[in-house]
Structure 1
Amino acid sequence: MRIKIGLLAAIALFATVSASAAQSREVVVVSGVLGPEGPLYVEGNLYFVGWISGTLSKWDGKTTTVLNSALGCGHNGLALSREHTFLLACTNAHGVILELDLSGKELRRWSADSEGRSFDGGINDIVVADNGGAYATVFGPYDGAPTAIAGRIVYRAPGSDTWVQVADNLNYANGIAISPDQKTLYLDEMVGNAILKFAIEADGTLTHRSNFALLNLLVPNRVENWWLGPDSLKVDRRGNLYVAQFFGGKVLKISPKGKLLHVFRIAAGDGTTNVAFGPGERDLYVSVVQDGNDPQAKGSIVRIRNVH
């Protein structure tokens, strides 16, 4: 009897370990990307950008195809509009927002907001609301070290052709996401290593700015660096946040209440930049730089199993 119980226990332990290993298995799907960012899974294809290479590419499961190359853009955040076009963040010093069709052809571009203020500091990330409105982050001056708290959020209302400033005084505004009920906007302050939240009003303006999470209170800092902070993030259908921490080598899963639910440790590098959901949110596609100190930001896109 003891032998049988011991055997059953061993089998159960093996099954648990095997399931855990399968769950955490990391697969590199695209390699050799210079500045990997902006993963987005659309109709069976994985789209991603390279901010060093200045390219938008598509991976169809077998082959990678470059769709757009714009010198001086510094391709970064990528979002799908309600019209089924891409909104692309150009993160170089004089930021630009591009609208592209799915083949990568440029349709429109914006280089300033409704008051004529240029997007100095670069556009970092973009999110599209269910009603078709869109929010974009203006990062801030970058010359190797942070120099000013000058980040902003701009908003383009449904049907509008202009971007209006809706928040400012942000400590290097980076990733941006919206809750499933469309009532809350989350914003990464990269240098502050913090996530803020805002209430979204009916006209798209933002109110009730407040702190949501300090990452160093959720997980220990892996290194001490100005740029150790939340890079980009996504929100799943349950309202949980998936936050890529640059120089952290990880993606944090955080509940809508700010509780740490899971840490996805990424083996491919320490410069995790962004995350996308695969079909049914079963898999995560993570863009990651192998060495965050590499000026060429060589990296890859990896696929890992989500944890529910």
Structure 2
Amino acid sequence: MSSQQALQPEVQTLVNGIAMGESPRWHQGRLWFADWGAQQIVAVDVSGRSEVMIETHLDLPFSIDWLPDGRLLMVAGRESLVLRQEADGTVVTHADLRSVSELGWNEIVVDRHGRAYVNGGPGVIAVVTPDGSARQVADNIAFPNGMAITQDGRTLIIAESHGRRLTAFDIDADGSLSHRRVWADLGNGCPDGICIDADNAVWYGDVPNKRCVRVREGGDVLQTITLDRGCFACMLGGAEGKTLFMVATEWRGMENASAVASERTGKIVIAEAPAAAAGRP
């Protein structure tokens, strides 16, 4: 780990009163996120004005990303489905993941070819091709969480929360994953949602350690932003792509998730980042 870290930047609160936020994405000038506790997909601008974009029936977990043509994908984790919102607002099934696993699904990232990578179940990653077919492309992931794809589209990085590491795969021409390797050993870090910046560094949210951390390949820590509650995910966005949005909640374990949601301790905080957003999501 590096001993040379940037100083903690000023952290400001953008939105309060979220039931339980996850899966933040910068899209069309706003930050979109899934509020698991409220069963909503919400968009907020940089001034803090929020708008409910979709009222869902989805129980946690659910996550979001977009196809290259602008249609929204939603992972219905408990149902093991990927849903798609059409241009007219109707929601249809994009892919059925039950053929891969019925043990539930978590996060999603879509590549430039319209292939959706979804993780969850018994520690697996599936790829959903544009025609809606799904197949397993990785396994033995120690509690899969956030995923991101590098700017060149050639590498997928996944947070292994229980493995306390970021793991990388090459993305093959047919969407398969190969050349698995440890991208960063995080020591006591417990990575959740992640994003990539233009310096090829990764930011990761860390719930138990109540922080958001920037690391380079190999594990050197470049910056740590300490928060007052667990950081579930992070995303770079804003006009120049250098605003770091951190989704945080006071967390007391999955067995207390309903109580936590009712207390609405979730919030989004922001800080200035040293490098702009890159890659996907």
- Class of the TM-score when normalised by the shorter of the 2 chains: 0.7 to 0.9
**TM-score (normalizing by structure 2):** 0.83
1:170 matches 2:128: no
**1:205-220 superposed matches below 5 A:** 205-216=176-187
In 1, distance between residues paired with 2:40 and 2:87? 14
The letter for the 2-side match of 1:125 is E
In 1, distance between residues paired with 2:208 and 2:151? 28
Structure-2 change in CA distance of 1:56 and 1:196 (3 Å): same
**1:1-308 superposed matches below 5 A:** 24-60=9-45, 61-92=47-78, 94-100=79-85, 105-112=90-97, 116-120=99-103, 122-138=104-120, 140=121, 150-157=122-129, 159-216=130-187, 221=188, 229-267=190-228, 269=229, 271-278=230-237, 279-293=239-253, 295=257, 296-297=260-261, 298-308=265-275
SS of 1:280's equivalent in the other structure is coil
Structure-2 change in CA distance of 1:290 and 1:87 (3 Å): same
Structure-2 change in CA distance of 1:198 and 1:49 (3 Å): same
Counterpart of 1:143 in structure 2 is: none
In 2, distance between residues paired with 1:37 and 1:205? 27
Q: Give the CA deviation at 1:248.
A: 1.6
Note the residue ranges of structure 1 that are not aligned, 5 or more in a row.
1-18, 141-149, 222-227
Which stretch has the larger CA shift, 198-207 or 127-136? 127-136
Higher relative contact order (CA 8 A, sep 6+): 2
Superposed CA deviations along residues 195-238 of structure 1, whole A, max 9, x for unmatched, are 2111111111011112222222xxxx4xxxxxx72111111233
Q: Give the CA deviation at 1:102.
A: 7.9
**TM-score (normalizing by structure 1):** 0.77
Q: Give the CA deviation at 1:95.
A: 3.0
Q: Give the CA deviation at 1:243.
A: 0.9
Structure-2 change in CA distance of 1:275 and 1:48 (3 Å): same
Note the residue ranges of structure 2 that are not aligned, 5 or more in a row.
1-5, 276-281
Of the two, which has the highest radius of gyration? 1
Q: Give the CA deviation at 1:137.
A: 0.7
Structure-2 change in CA distance of 1:305 and 1:281 (3 Å): same
Q: Give the CA deviation at 1:245.
A: 1.3
Higher helix share: 1
Q: Give the CA deviation at 1:76.
A: 3.3
SS of 2:240's equivalent in the other structure is helix
Superposed CA deviations along residues 179-200 of structure 1, whole A, max 9, x for unmatched, are 1122211111111222211111
In 1, distance between residues paired with 2:30 and 2:64? 14
In 1, distance between residues paired with 2:89 and 2:185? 37
**CA-atom RMSD, angstroms?**
2.4
Counterpart of 2:279 in structure 1 is: none
Structure-2 change in CA distance of 1:257 and 1:105 (3 Å): farther
The letter for the 1-side match of 2:115 is G
In 2, distance between residues paired with 1:171 and 1:43? 33
In 2, distance between residues paired with 1:180 and 1:74? 29
Q: Give the CA deviation at 1:131.
A: 2.2
Q: Give the CA deviation at 1:109.
A: 4.2
Give the aligned length. Answer: 261
Q: Give the CA deviation at 1:242.
A: 0.9
Q: Do the aligned residues in 2 keep the contact of 1:241 with 1:254 (CA within 8 Å)?
A: yes
Q: Give the CA deviation at 1:65.
A: 2.1
